Chains A and B, each alone.
Chain A
């Protein structure tokens, strides 16, 4: 077996040194009744070629977005990842290292985390960020718990335009921690619909509100100014939690920090990381300096070694479970080191200039597609102001149309019924995202295909 270095001869000589007759002797403490000596209903070992063939078999039964124009978003976006990103994260020194608990021999991981924390703070417009979390949805749940600790209040108001997965993860994670959730209904955008959503959220705040959680751009793609909502939160001693599911938008939009958010959580997948059918992704969490001690997750800080050289180390671990056990701020043990590294390298390549340009290309292409779709009878663009994603009303079931287009190798968008099942108001809505990976030709194909739907 190629991953097992010991030869039979070596096994025998090692067993002799141990004083055991065979490997089974080493399991003598396992009660006989607990031993399994049968054979699994599984296959025997395989070489690289046979394993590869099996996985190619899985792959061939899927429609790859590389083979079909892809307009899917809703919290996961197809962006181009520069070749050097994937090369660098596969360096064994990064990929096969453990959590940097021994800082003297982990300065590589630690310095990249410190740089990552700085990049996230800059992007979100906040003072500090942690070393990452599982994904955007779990980061959002942790933000609600963090707001509870900061304010010592139990209420959380969730915007109805928050990604439903984020909403559900927050409800699940907090369900046994006496959190009182106030969930608004989704506010579907439209030319006639006045945008009262943020004012409605502000009106729900009371003296037990720990936080208001609002997504920007929201699940319908709409972008808003959160400044007034932030002020309303602060007037009542509550925190504003801003959720960003498309980080590329931060290259074009005023940051949540500038708008007064207290905690920003985001899904970082768009930078450096492939779609990978939903995971592993990358949770970002950033906040103001004064809330640092209530932050969940790992933190990397600057220090010096005994020779006075600038050095990095994990810090404030007294908040964490391995020290605090049942009194920890969170049960989270790990971060998302390698996906955070991919994010950081991609952002290092882009820099200020590249990120801004990438964001504008995304926005520009979305405007181009929207203009084309707007000319099609029976297709109505509902989102007035958006970044790279908007909601469209069709004249029939969106799911039916999306499925039909998929048969013709076009991944047309996310039918909103998939995210809001049972809500009749969204049956004919589809959420369409456009990134730099979508070409002019792809845009034409989608417009033509939608125009042909009866």
Chain B
């Protein structure tokens, strides 16, 4: 079925697929210079691609209109508050975009002679220094490409440290992971050859210390713990220093998931808590764009104990404002566990994140985390009489609710979330963390104004009232005003269509 069979509505356009707009002779690019087909056929011989690739042809105006129309079907931070808990959807400054595209920064080849890239190496050194200072940690590995990639880096460092100390056949292979952890944590531990042992949360939403001590035992088989702080319930893990002490005493290491650094930046240094490694999502705390799902960047700060195992490559200062790039096993005290990524790192993201940090400065970063926590607590305070906070105390950067306020209404957490769309808001994070029933996790971030928060709070209160008075049917049908109403995810998974095909049989929509 062709999307264009449905008509446009107002300024909402039904946009066909690129492949349906194809006119084979069209092209959106003009070239300076020409290509000699005969020459290529001679030199490439049997390897010359003769069969059609079947890419569609469009002119430049058509391409610009296609993507402009598609963009208008997206919600974005630019258009509204994006309350996704654990995602830190803050404003993305445009200055960062401009700087990432400067001639001499955005266009450097990664394998230019080191003498010709001293400026960008200085920039690597600088962002490393900012991250180390903010976290109170002595070293940093910049290359991981995303948060989960940073987790892999941190856990690989832990594995390398253990294997060096105890040998590759060490029995220290158990990793403790709180049940409220992001799914990437257990998945990463598995890739590093560890087994995952979950620790339950206590009634207050933090790590249950009794259960932790019980799981730790004598600790001789425990490689470490993966702890998120503040945790995914939006609470500071008050026992973290004690936990770190016990883990260290038993010979293990502490990995911290830094996804929620935005709450404590400038107020708590992870290094002071006994953490050995922590990844930092530059696309959360330091405002680089989420881009509809990446690319991100996940540098990892390291303790002195883990610093020698940091992966290749890294930048060293060799003299007064002179830098070198270490790309191969250097010998000496460094024992890199390997390489995680092609070339050196997400340079474009380092530029944006450093521009953000320098814009805020040390004073602004502390104010930013303060405002992030203030905004979350304001939302919590203004909604706690009608919704059901999961925990009674102040939250950090995100406010967590359970679904008990919806009991008896016939409205589920998902229904409530979808109804937010009709009120002009992106839904909050739902059903996560798993430790709270029907969880709704709201993280407004510090870049929302009081006006925007009041509008959001007002909309939420209206929805709660509507859920109470009914009918629930209205919620089951939401969203009604979005570019699409509920989409059949079961159909997508059962009748897999992952690409456009030219001779797709016509389907009945009701099928």
Contacts and interface: CB of A to CB of B under 8 A. Distances in A.
B390 interface: no
B374 A26 contact: yes
A103 to B, nearest CB: 5
Contact of A62 (B101, B117, B156): B117
B120 A62 contact: yes
A99 B82 CA distance: 12
Interface in B78-103: 78-79, 82, 84, 87, 89-93, 95, 97-103
Contact of B421 (A1, A51, A104, A175): A104
Contact of B498 (A128, A327, A332): A128
B36 A40 contact: no
Contacts of B56: 348, 351-352
A56 B98 CA distance: 11
Interface in B40-83: 40, 43-58, 60, 63-64, 66-68, 70-79, 82
Give the secondary structure class of B's interface. loop
A34 interface: yes
A336 B113 CA distance: 28
Given A26-B374, A111-B17, A385-B44, A62 B116 contact: yes
B53 A122 contact: yes
Given A59-B102, A65-B108, A108-B71, A98 B363 contact: no
Contacts of A327: 190
Contacts of B380: 18
B220 interface: no
A337 B291 contact: yes
Contacts of A337: 290-295
B75 A34 contact: no
A56 B54 contact: no
Contacts of B57: 351-354
A317 to B, nearest CB: 8
Contact of A171 (B188, B289, B338): B338
Contacts of A403: 113, 115
A90 B97 CA distance: 8
B84 A14 contact: no
A237 interface: no
A258 B19 contact: no
Given A134-B295, A301-B497, A354-B27, A97 B290 contact: yes
Given A6-B371, A55-B355, A336-B294, A313 B45 contact: no
A381 interface: no
Contact of B362 (A42, A59, A303, A338): A42
Contact of A355 (B55, B193, B345): B55
A393 interface: no
B138 to A, nearest CB: 13
B335 interface: no
Nearest to A302: B497
B492 A252 contact: no
A59 to B, nearest CB: 3
Interface stretch (B246-254, B404-412, B447-455, B465-473): B447-455
Interface residues of B, number: 212
A440 B356 CA distance: 41
A321 B360 CA distance: 34
A323 B378 CA distance: 32
Interface stretch (B210-218, B261-269, B299-307): B261-269
Given A94-B74, A138-B341, A307 B66 contact: no
A93 B76 contact: yes
B463 interface: no
A350 B27 contact: yes
B363 A44 contact: yes
Contact of A251 (B49, B287, B360): B49
B482 A18 contact: no
9 tightest A-B CB contacts, nearest first: A278-B343, A308-B509, A172-B338, A92-B78, A338-B291, A61-B119, A360-B35, A59-B104, A278-B110
Given A4-B446, A62-B105, 9 more contacts: A11-B371, A58-B119, A104-B486, A172-B340, A304-B488, A339-B295, A357-B35, A406-B115, A411-B116
30 contacts: A17-B381, A20-B394, A26-B394, A30-B267, A30-B268, A36-B268, A44-B361, A48-B359, A51-B358, A61-B122, A63-B117, A64-B103, A86-B101, A96-B76, A104-B418, A112-B292, A128-B498, A132-B294, A138-B149, A225-B46, A277-B109, A279-B347, A325-B187, A338-B292, A351-B55, A353-B25, A360-B37, A385-B47, A403-B113, A406-B115
